[in-house]
Chain A
Amino acid sequence: MSAFEKSVNCEDVAPLLVFYACNEVSDRERKQIDAHAANCQACAAQLAEESHLQEAMVAAPQPADELDSSGILLSQCRSELAEALDDLSAPPIQEHWRPFGWLRRWMALRPAWSGALLVLFGIVLGTQVLPWLQNGKSGNANGQAMNVTAKPPLSKDQLDNMEIAGINFSPSSDAGSPNVQLKLSAEQPMVLTGSVDDSDMRHVLTYVVENGQRFDAGVRLDCLEALKAASRDQQVRQALIAAARKDQNPAVRMKALESLREASADDDVRQALLDALQHDANPGVRVEAVNVLVGSLQHRESEETAPEAADATPVVKLSSPEEDPSVERVVRALQQLQHRDPSRYVRLRSAAALRQIGPREVQ
């Protein structure tokens, strides 16, 4: 017996006896246990008991002996497996063509999760997707107009790229400036609604008048009509004067002069009226200039007299030349027009205007 084998005691051997009995110890361990059991009756008895127990358990009938003693169950199992393999091997055409088959199988196996997911899906669909889709539809996809409530300031690029799709007027409730609705076709179609006093609205209308070549005459006339109420504004007045001088369409020039009626006492306006009177090629414009000038020369007391009624009204009282030196220029221009204008109607209208103004000594 080696020194190592002598050192093995009962505590070392006891845990190994289970494995010794079922032949799961190494050769070295087996020798140690054999050597120890030869000298230790207690361990030898425990080893014998362990071996006996395991032999008895192995020898005892097992459930499998009882449950499938005839082998019928094994045959059944083989048959069922073959059928299952047939199902697996068959081309699952329906599964391939059935949309979301995997999802339905997954849901069938997890009903609680499926219910929760469906509820979540419904919430997301209702609160996020549908509003998003509606916003997308009402955007510029169909070229429909969008109401702008926040009034972002219009940039020059936007103005340069815009087209006027429509312009509507409606009388305001407080008898002030009429409400205007402008439909703009730009990169983002929009509708501007408001009175001429709104800065954006005035900005757009002025832009149209100043850049008449980009817009058709009908739009320009509508814009001039809208701006009439704001003719005392410096920016609007300059735009109206420019239109009266430069617009290619005589109807637009006439409308511009008409729109300046409220501001006709202004020097710039009066000069523009005189220029139209003397240099405009269209007799209708010149006649309109005469009408507006006559109206502008009336006294404050008679300012309420309608210009259309000027022909019928008696002589109006003029400001003295000391009070308003431009009056002299107007009278002189009318006198020249009375004799030299190529249009007979203009000559007659000028003469009538001079009579209306009254006899006057021209210096």
Chain B
Amino acid sequence: MPLPRWALALADYNGRSGSTDAALASVISLSHLDERALVAEAQTGSRAAFEELVRRFDRDVLRLALNLMKRPEDARDVYQEAFLKVYRNLHRFRFECSFYTWLYRIVTNVCLDHLRRRQARPEDQAPELSSGLHEEGITDFFERQREQRPTLDPERTFIGKEIKARIAIAMERLSPRERIVFEMKHYQGLKLRAIGDALGTTEETVKNSLFRATRKLRHELGGLR
């Protein structure tokens, strides 16, 4: 399978070799490196290694940012700010935890900053994706979802529609930290210990946050079956 042109250009930019073959070999070798070796390579200043790291993790990062910020432009800001912080501070990473945990610590801090700033500006609240079940926009959204995912079970779609709307409202009741913990646990699938590492706190504290978040959600979503 031919490599895309950007990959060749990336390897060439890194200055490892002047030939296309060498660039190709460089990109292929990077894609086979494990996380630790890739980070170590990026710490030496390899732009290609850093780009490879970004591609391994940025999908999850953007998803977390979108779920938390609920606005594409905010999520894009979080994405850029977080990865630029990683780039600038990568030389400080000492492998005392996994790179994934370290990355999430940065991302969650950036998200928390943005959420707190947004809370301080009531006029800058994120738009409700599902502020009501009977709004025109919501209907349009689920119509589009149905078209995009034709294999989806219609009954499940309907349940999802109801739950999504109520969850969106309920999630607004959570504090930024509770929202991040809930998001990382249920949508990112992280263990509580890893969440604690990412947030720079103890597993017990994360447990408390998750318990409070779930209790609030259950209260808001009472009767949901």
Contacts and interface: CB of A to CB of B under 8 A. Distances in A.
Given A53-B221, A58-B187, A77-B62, A18 B211 contact: yes
B199 interface: no
A179 to B, nearest CB: 75
B207 A19 contact: yes
A81 B217 contact: no
A78 B54 contact: yes
Interface residues on A, range: 35 or more
A54 interface: yes
Contacts of B84: 81, 84-85, 88
Interface SS of chain A: helix, strand, loop or mixed? helix
Interface stretch (B17-25, B26-34, B68-76, B115-123): B68-76
Interface in A189-210: none
Interface string A73-89: 11011101110110011
Given A57-B167, A59-B163, A81-B79, A68 B72 contact: yes
Contacts of A80: 76, 80
Nearest to A58: B186
A73 B62 contact: yes
A74 B75 CA distance: 10
A253 B145 CA distance: 124
A237 B41 CA distance: 97
Contacts of B218: 50, 53
A316 B51 CA distance: 123
B99 interface: no
Given A58-B186, A77-B79, A78-B58, A53 B63 contact: no
Contacts of A77: 58, 62, 76, 79-80
A81 B71 CA distance: 18
B75 A73 contact: yes
A15 interface: yes
Interface in B47-101: 47, 50-51, 54-55, 58-59, 62-63, 66-67, 70-72, 75-76, 79-80, 83-84, 87-88
Interface residues of chain B: helix, strand, loop or mixed (majority): helix
A15 B208 CA distance: 10
Given A57-B186, A61-B164, A81-B83, A67 B76 contact: no
B5 interface: no
A363 interface: no
Given A80-B80, A89-B47, A64 B160 contact: no
Nearest to A70: B148
Nearest to A80: B80
B129 interface: yes
B62 A85 contact: no
A22 interface: yes
A68 B67 CA distance: 11
A56 B221 CA distance: 11
Interface in B183-225: 185-187, 191-192, 207, 210-211, 214-215, 217-218, 221, 224-225
Interface of A: 15, 18-19, 22, 24, 50, 52-54, 56-69, 73-74, 76-78, 80-82, 84-85, 88-89
8 contacts: A18-B214, A57-B217, A59-B160, A63-B67, A63-B129, A68-B72, A77-B76, A81-B83
Nearest 7 pairs of A and B residues by beta carbon = A64-B66, A60-B163, A60-B164, A64-B63, A77-B79, A18-B214, A56-B163
